[in-house]
Amino acid sequence: MAPDFLASVCLGAMVTEVLQNYLGGRWIAGAGSGAALYDPVRGTELVRVDSSGLDIAAGFNFARKEGAELRSLTYRQRGEMLSAIARMLQGRREIYFEIAQANSGTVSNDSAVDIDGAIYTISTYAKLAETLGDRQFLFDGEATPLAKEAAFQGRHVLVPTRGLALLINAFNFPAWGLWEKAAPALLSGVPVVVKPATATAWLAQAMVRDVVAAGILPVGALSVICGSSAGLLDALEPFDLVSFTGSAETASTVRSHPAIARRSVRANIEADSVNSAILVDGEAGGGPAFDLLVREVVREMTVKSGQKCTAIRRILVPASQYDAVADAISSRLSKVTVGDPRNNRVRMGALVNRAQYVAVQEGLAQLRKETKILHDGASHDLIDADPAVACCLGPTLLGAPDPDRSEIVHDIEIFGPVATLMPYRDEAHALALARRGQGSLVASVYGSGAAALSRVALELADSHGRVHVVSPEVADVQTGHGNVMPQSLHGGPGRAGGGEELGGARALNFSHRRAAYRGRR
């Protein structure tokens, strides 16, 4: 896809390209007409994707065989490749921003979360490679004597798996979702096959296309399939990996597939998450911690129109602060401008497509059965966007005055600009409400007292993959409730999927096999 085509698409040209797949070391068009990707604000067709007719098994075998050249390299050499990828992507950053604006309907700051976050993640793992050095395997722990005589010892090692990594990503982060999975796998020496979500596959395909064109990686090390996922899991073999991000319903299908259930393909799952933000009891209304909570809630509701797996869905505050927090959040939300991201006055763009727009509206209708509206997203006039066409929706704050009697507010994740405020009686009650999410990716805690913050954070650790603690001392440097950093774990127990990604060097564990060596010292 040439830059002049990109310009024509963004201008609403009538010609639609069908994006090709890269499999078996070559670009291949699907056999059908494909599924259309749309501008979620203007409703215009942008490109099409199609994977019908591909020989998936042959393509996977090619990746395993030819992509295995990665394994013959050292961590340092693979890290140098990641550095080259990051530099190349940085040089084409503006083109990726145009694609994101057109296909995802995101404002510039939201596109940066995805695109710049991807480049930062790649760079982080490139730097990690420098510490791993000129090796092709990793030690796991120290040697341990296994007999009375110390001459016979055992030690564990980690070696790259001899399969491939199938990466199935969600629609909300087509750039970051690709590279937060691919960077650790490639650094480990494992070839990857990327299956981006159809709705926003354009950006992921463009990035893979550019990496392939630059000749940075061995042939077969990086593949992309755009369109249907049919047949992908069928082609997996015992030493392969699959990493999935998406709905709990689809995750269940992945888990029950024979590749995982019978052939023991290693799987990592990230699914639904009803994340919480908690204001510690005893904080003054309008005080620093109070304001930090309010600002973070508004940010999480509006960044990428709330389409983040880590976004705040439930806000837990002391009962005495319920009304004040409701007023403060509502006041800030009322100032959020919604519409076409091409207009510089717009702060929040669109939901990704009409299906997502309908799903959010349906979820809102369910939540409204046991909540009341504190700020109505429908009150926002759209800027440069036709309400009959655009998938734009203003941020909506709901209130659940009696959260113990509520059920669906703890169970439904509305993947959009919606959050529910609820009061708690005491610390134990707040923790119980947070745990009703049945396992989440992240909870954030706001307060000024070190003892209370530490106590609450540790109590939340068993049911959350990450606990984000915010006090006035870190107000200006904290990275944000929903911001996933490559140095920290991303994943969560229970309904969040039970998976783990990133976490610095920990991410390499998924792409390595652990073995025990036993023998002479």
Q: Which two tokens stand for residue 277?
A: 């933000």
pLDDT value at residue 402: 96
Domain borders along the chain are: 3-139+159-270+502-514, 275-487
pLDDT at residue 500 tops 90: yes
Catalytically annotated residue among 17, 180, 270, 501: 270
- The reply to whether CATH 3.40.309.10 applies to domain 275-487 is yes
Mark 283-308 as b/e (b = at least 16 C-beta within 10 Å): bebeebbbbbbbbbbbbbbbbbbbbb
pLDDT of 3 over the 90 cut: no
Report how far residue 163's alpha carbon sits from residue 144's, in angstroms, rounded to the nearest whole number. Answer: 30
Contact yes or no for 37/46 (Cβ under 8 A):
yes
Which ranges in 368-449 belong to alpha helices (H)? 427-435
The CA–CA distances, whole Å, from 388 to 43, 185, 393, 415 equal: 10, 43, 12, 21
506: which residues sit within 8 A by CB, 6+ positions away? Answer: 489, 500
- In this structure, are residues 52 and 44 in contact, taking their beta carbons and an 8 Å threshold? no
- Does 449 have pLDDT greater than 60? yes
Nearest to 415 by CA among 270, 311, 299: 311
pLDDT average, residue stretch 477-482: 95
192-195 and 222-224 as β-strands: parallel, antiparallel, unpaired?
parallel
Active site residue 500: no
Could you read off the pLDDT of 43-94 as tens digits, one per residue? 999 999 999 999 999 999 999 999 999 999 999 999 999 999 999 999 999 9
- For residue 410, what are its two tokens? 């703890």
Q: What is the pLDDT of residue 5?
A: 41
Q: Determine the pLDDT at residue 342.
A: 97
Question: Using an 8 Å Cβ cutoff, are 64 and 372 in contact?
Answer: no
Percent of the chain exceeding pLDDT 70 equals: 97
Mean residue pLDDT across the chain: 95
pLDDT (tens digit per residue) in 234-274: 999 999 999 999 988 899 999 999 999 999 999 999 999 99
pLDDT at 468 over 60: yes
pLDDT reported for residue 13: 44
**CA–CA gap between residue 328 and residue 126 (Å, rounded):** 42
Q: Tell me which DSSP letter residue 478 carries.
A: -
Residues 6+ positions from 252 with CB-CB distance below 8 Å: none
- The mean-pLDDT minimum among 37-51, 140-154, 211-225, 258-272 falls in 140-154
- Level-2 CATH architecture, domain 3-139+159-270+502-514: 3-Layer(aba) Sandwich (3.40)
Task: In whole angstroms, give the CA distance from residue 137 to residue 511.
Answer: 12
Indicate if 283 belongs to the active site: no
pLDDT band at residue 4, thresholds of 50, 70 and 90?
very low
CA 262 to chain centre: 28
For residue 481, give the nearest of 473, 489, 470 by alpha carbon.
470
Question: Residue 15's pLDDT is what?
Answer: 60
Q: Which residues contact 97 (CB under 8 A, 6 or more apart)?
A: 108, 111, 112, 115
Rounded-to-integer distance, Cα 166 and Cα 196, Å: 11
Region of poorest pLDDT, from 19-23, 60-64, 247-251, 374-378: 247-251
345-to-101, 298, 349, 377 alpha-carbon distances in Å: 15, 17, 11, 18
What span, in angstroms and rounded, lies between the C-alpha atoms of 245 and 275? 16
d(CA 178, CA 100): 14
Whether residue 14 has pLDDT greater than 90: no
Q: Which residue has the higher pLDDT, 126 or 7?
A: 126
Residue range 366-388: mean pLDDT, rounded: 96
Are the C-beta atoms of residues 151 and 521 closer than 8 Å to each other?
Answer: yes
